[in-house]
Amino acid sequence: MERKSFDGDLPSEYIKGETNVQMETEKSIYSKSINEIKVTVRNQGPNPIAFGTYYRVEKYKGDTWYEVPLNIQFTDIGLSIKANETYDEEVQIKHIDYQLTQGLYRIVKEFRTENDEINLAVEFTIE
């Protein structure tokens, strides 16, 4: 886990004009023995939000986020969430090529609207 994240602090919610998109996990704290983490994306604006299947998992060490290696090939397809709808995604821990240890992690996803590119992250803790 040597590669530093190219993102610094990222919000879990983006509100600008009519755009309102939020990302959250089912829980904020998980044990090391988890099998998956459910991520929910909410589009609370009137326009669709576009995104893909790609995500990153990162761990916070010291004062820096580092990318956690993944053993998965993402299908490059476009998805969208209509106005006032949600999308659930399950991040499978078996695809993480790293032994989860205690600490702060986050899942990062990219979204697009007609006018903006948005990076959101949802944080969780492994105990």
Which residues does 55 contact at the CB level (< 8 Å), separation at least 6?
39, 89, 91, 107, 108, 109
- 2 belongs to a structural domain: no
The per-residue pLDDT for 120 is 98
**Among the listed residues 76, 122, 84, 126, the one whose alpha carbon sits nearest the alpha carbon of residue 101:** 126
Range of the domain at 85: 13-126
Tokens of 31: 């044990």
The per-residue pLDDT for 73 is 80
Q: pLDDT 10s per residue in the chain (127 long)?
A: 678 998 989 999 999 999 999 999 999 999 998 999 999 999 999 999 999 999 999 999 999 999 999 888 888 889 999 999 999 999 988 888 888 899 999 999 999 998 899 999 999 999 9
Predicted TM-score (pTM) of the model is 0.92
Let me know the angle formed at the C-alpha of 5 by 12 and 20, rounded to the nearest 5 degrees.
20
How far from each other are the two terminal CA atoms of the chain, in whole angstroms? Answer: 19
Burial class (CB in 10 A: 0-12, 13-18, 19+), 124: buried
CATH number, residue 120 = 2.60.40.10
Instruction: Tell me how many domains the chain contains.
Output: 1
The per-residue pLDDT for 1 is 63
- 61 belongs to a structural domain: yes
Rounded to whole angstroms, the maximal C-alpha distance in the chain is 41
The per-residue pLDDT for 72 is 83
- 33 belongs to a structural domain: yes
